[in-house]
Amino acid sequence: MDPRRNGYLIILLLVLLGGDMVKGGNVVLNVEHKYGGVRGHNLRELKAHDVRRHGRMLAASAADFQLGGNGSPTGAALYFTKVAIGTPSKDYHVQVDTGSDLLWVNCEGCNRCPTKSKLGIEMMQYNLQASTSGKSITCEQDVCTAMFDATSSDCKVGKPCEYMVTYGDGSTTGGYFVKDNIYLDQVSGDYKTSPLQGNIAFGCSSKQSGDLGTSTNAVDGIIGFGAANMSVISQLAAAGTVRKMFAHCLDGVGGGGIFAIGQVVEPKVNSAPLLANRAHYTVTLKDIEVGGEVVNIPTSIFEWKSKGAIIDSGTTLVYLPSKAYNAMMNKLMAKQPELKTHSRDGDFDCFMYRGNVDDGFPPVTFQFTGNLSLTAYPHDYLFEVRDNEWCIGWQEATGGKDGDEIFLLGDLLLSNKLVLYDLEKKTIGWTQYDCSSNIKVKDETTGNVYTVGAHKISSASTTRAFTFFFSLISFLCFLLN
């Protein structure tokens, strides 16, 4: 996420529920940010985080996707939350990732699963035998073949439905699929919640390797919000429990924000179609403007295999193809011709500047189809690492297959905007927004519209094992996961 963000990031996840259980209800969750402020922060670590994630995203293949293989390893996503699973329920800290699909958690007896974390959380491992509502998934069950495409000849009747995910840096996670209860917080009024129970299939990790097994910033697993059949949102939508749409609003100024699944009625957003048959949420990019002037970039860069631009809230910075990066940087730095830049940590162009960066540098706008645009102001793409020393967040795409041809847009662009993913209409949209405020969501059963507010985790008060409540006068309501 944006390295300028101070403190922890908390995101409230709201789920609008439909179906027989509690149709049209809303659910929320708090998500912590892994990194604090950028002053004194290791910039190389931030870049390495994105490079690892970029490589893993590029490594996604048909084989990986057959088993829910577009997951992000423990060290990749920058925010996490708690999810309660099983009967009796136990809490698992999982990273929330819009760039992956599968929910998986560490299993009891897991080989090389981390047992300690510097995040200050208690690590937990799922035990199928200890949950009275837990069930194993075997090869002959429809959920194995239809949802996870487990068609291997080794998958025989009565054998566990297995998965294995390999990432671009060589990290792996493998195990088997199970089904159990998951507990959500249904929004029942303005800043109010009530409990809700669902039932989903997820991965139980029995072995890990590489960064997944050694990360010091470990969590218990990953919850993906991709569009594939195995994602939590897809499973709940297929059961008629939720609408297949979600939104996030990340506060890049004070930390905090909102993450919502379901129908957001305020604010309104303009949308554009998502490119079909893509592993990640991708939209067509038309051009880039610096200070209102179009950057001279070969059109072939935008049209290459119609790849478009990947929208990924788990990536910190913005990565551009070489020709696009160089053309944009030349135009941007032409506004300050006397400025001398230097390299910091080998990856960032930095400079000394005593003035107001918003006065001295131009905004950068990405123009998409559907009259959509994303604008980064100087205070968005420049961050102060120490007194009067500023570094630039734009990065040249490197590494991985076809890495030089990819536009990867992270939180540098997505912060301070409400971003709405409508997987029913297959569109994505956004609008500039104060993510420290609130949004309004609709209960489709009653037609009522409820207010959901943002908050910081440091203000949270735990009132039950997996829920934080937030009142309009005092504090925070709700958390899923």
Residue-wise pLDDT for 234-245, tens only, equals 888 888 777 888
pLDDT at 14: 33
Residue-wise pLDDT for 233-282, tens only, equals 888 888 877 788 888 888 777 766 777 777 888 999 999 999 998 888 99
Which conformational region is residue 149 in: left (phi greater than 0), alpha (psi within -120 to 50 degrees), or beta?
left
The tokens describing 42, both together, are: 């290791």
The tokens describing 311, both together, are: 């929208």
Closest by alpha carbon to 210, among 218, 202, 198?
A: 218
Q: pLDDT category, 67, cuts 50, 70, 90? A: very low
Higher pLDDT, 287 or 448: 287
Residue-wise pLDDT for 383-437, tens only, equals 888 889 999 888 887 654 444 467 888 888 888 899 999 999 999 999 999 988 8
**Cβ 237 vs Cβ 161: under 8 Å:** no
Buried b (16+ CB within 10 A) or exposed e, 129-142: eebeebeebbbebe
Distance CA 120, CA 99 (A): 25
118 has pLDDT over 60: yes
Q: What is the pTM of this model?
A: 0.78
Residue-wise pLDDT for 3-43, tens only, equals 333 333 333 333 333 333 334 456 666 666 555 444 445 66
Higher pLDDT, 123 or 212: 123
Strand order of the β-sheet with 309-311 is: 282-283, 309-311, 407-409, 318-320, 394-396
Strand pairing of 257-261 and 11-15?
parallel
pLDDT at 147: 60
209 has pLDDT over 50: yes
Closest by alpha carbon to 26, among 400, 474, 448?
A: 448
Give catalytic residues, as residue numbers: 97, 312
Closest by alpha carbon to 235, among 247, 245, 244?
A: 244
Specify the DSSP class assigned to residue 145.
I
Higher pLDDT, 250 or 92: 92
Helix (H) or strand (E) holding 20: helix 19-22
pLDDT at 330: 92
